[in-house]
Amino acid sequence: MRASAFVYPWDVNGDPGAPARIASLGVEQVTLAAAYHSTRALTPRHPRHRVVTAEHAAVLYPPGERWTGRALRPYPAGRWAPGDAYGEAARALAAAGLAVHSWVVLAHNSRLGADHPDTSVVNAYGDPYPWAPCIARPATRAYLTDLAAEAAVRPGTHGTELESLGWYGLRHLHAHDKISGVALGEAGEYLMSLCFCAHCRTGYGEQGLEPEGLAAAVRAALEPLWRGAVADRGLPTLAELLGARTAAATLAWRERTARTLQEEAVAAVRAAAPEGFQVLLHADPFSHRCGANAGVDPAHILSVADGVVVPCTGGTDLLAPFAAHARERTVLAANFTVVTGMGGSPATLAADAARARAAGANELRLYHAGLASDGDLSAVREALGARWTSGTAVRSSATP
């Protein structure tokens, strides 16, 4: 199984040993951040720093002329990734024999929401989510589509992985999050993620729903969840709380909005990319789900993109719906966290990879080569069957 490790440019730039160290893990590829949200990250082996604070969502290269005069445009990175940080890291990684694919975060941008409040998702109570751009808004869709094309197709890049290309909602690791006091469950999080901006209100109307009545119904459906009076059973709970017809109509509007954006963004990337450029989405096979792994219809998305990257740290169950629609050259990449401190289990990676393969996966993604400890990286190296020999990675026959 082909394996790729996630990497930030700041893991590589300024650390001459980083490319060979990453190659020594036994991976053939890196998924290198080109557009990323705000974060605070450890760099446990870097010779110049130990903590990098990316203060806002940014592109990690100089944005192009297409943004001139546009209100919505990507923000260049600050001191955490100056200049063409992506390009510098990509060249160093390629020199170590690694194929470089870009990692592009799209509908997740707190700075955009702060500077342009009218771009944000607005819940049924009127609360904006500045981290979550509403993907129904035409200007936001145009921004995301152009960002996907520009950030994905960087010089020296052979493919891309598009993250959060769909709805973002309530769940978000925001600064000092304090939202876990009430267990809303999957149904409650969906209700709290429904958008009621002007464009979404129009969209609900097209589905035969009266927007003000729908907002009131959503608030009423949430009331027993605030009191802890309803046990969550996922989507069936949603139909009980909101009514089956209303729940189906809201989902239909959101599915159509996400599907068309995904089609437009992938088409824009393909138009900008050379032949053979691979386009994958970070995805969840349940279309009502929000977040970094966008909720999709498996059959549809595999007819649009070359494949998907699927979260598998908690188990491989999400692979099966995609495997049922995979074609001969479809990429089904199982994504495993290999940072013990973030809930990963690099010690069981070989067994996890075997389970993923049995469930239909044909590639691995490892999150994250820059954040992991030396012990975690050693476990990954052992699992992938690589060994360190004179500063180069030598693959053994034990590679999964």
Domains defined for the chain, CATH in brackets: 2-170+258-395 (3.20.20.80)
Question: What are the tens digits of pLDDT across the range 127-161?
Answer: 999 999 999 999 999 999 999 999 999 999 999 99
Question: What is the helix (H) or strand (E) element at residue 294, kind and residue range?
Answer: strand 294-295
Measuring CA to CA, which residue among 243, 14, 8 is closest to residue 102? 8
Give the three-state DSSP class for 29.
strand
DSSP β-bridge partners for residue 310 = 334
Beta bridge partners of 128: 122
CB distance 377 to 339 below 8 Å: no
Phi, psi of 77 (to 5 degrees): -70, 160
Count of beta carbons in the 10 Å neighbourhood of residue 306: 18
Average pLDDT over residues 214-234: 89
291: how many CB neighbours lie within 10 A of its CB? 23
pLDDT for 388 beyond 50:
no
pLDDT reading at 52 higher than 90: yes
- Identify the pLDDT of residue 5: 98
d(CA 53, CA 380): 26
Are 331 and 281 a contacting pair, CB within 8 Å? no
Pairing of strands 58-59, 29-36: antiparallel
pLDDT tens-digit readout, 3-30: 999 999 999 999 999 999 999 999 999 9
Of the candidate ranges 175-179, 253-257, 340-344, 376-380, the one whose mean pLDDT is the lowest: 175-179
Residues 6+ apart with CB under 8 A from 307: 278, 280, 326, 330, 331, 332, 333, 363
Alpha helices in the chain (DSSP H): 9-12, 18-23, 85-95, 110-115, 138-152, 185-193, 198-206, 211-226, 235-242, 244-272, 298-304, 319-323, 349-358, 374-383
Predicted confidence (pLDDT) at residue 246 exceeds the cutoff of 70: yes
Residue 31 bridge partners (DSSP)? 6, 101
| Secondary structure (3-state) at 230 | coil
Give pTM, 2 decimals: 0.94
Task: Judge whether residue 399 has pLDDT over 60.
Answer: no
Higher pLDDT, 225 or 203: 203
User: Token pair of 276, please?
Assistant: 């053979």
Higher pLDDT, 241 or 61: 61
Number of Cβ within a 10 Å radius of residue 228: 10
Tell me the C-alpha distance between 280 and 361, whole Å: 14
pLDDT band at 184 (very low <50, low <70, confident <90, very high): confident
3-state DSSP helix/strand/coil % of the chain, to nearest 5: 40, 20, 40
Does residue 176 carry a pLDDT above 80? Answer: no
Give the tokens for residue 323: 């495997």
Q: What is the DSSP string of 102-141?
A: EEEE-S--HHHHHH-GGGEEE-TTS-EEEEEE-TTSHHHH
Interatomic CA distance for residues 252 and 191, integer angstroms: 14
Q: How far apart are CA 199 and CA 201, in angstroms?
A: 5
Cβ contact 315:368 at 8 Å: no
When pLDDT is averaged across residues 89-97 and rounded to a whole number, the result is 98
Tell me: pLDDT of 186 over 50: yes
**pLDDT tens string 324-352:** 999 999 999 999 999 999 999 999 999 99
Token pair belonging to 261: 């954006």
Q: Would you state the pLDDT for residue 174? A: 66
Give the pLDDT confidence score for residue 182 in this predicted structure: 83
pLDDT digits (tens, 9 = 90+) for 258-296: 999 999 999 999 999 999 999 999 999 999 999 999 999
Q: How far is CA 386 from CA 21, 31, 32, 322, 393, in A?
A: 11, 19, 21, 29, 6
Calculate what percentage of the chain has a pLDDT beyond 90.
87
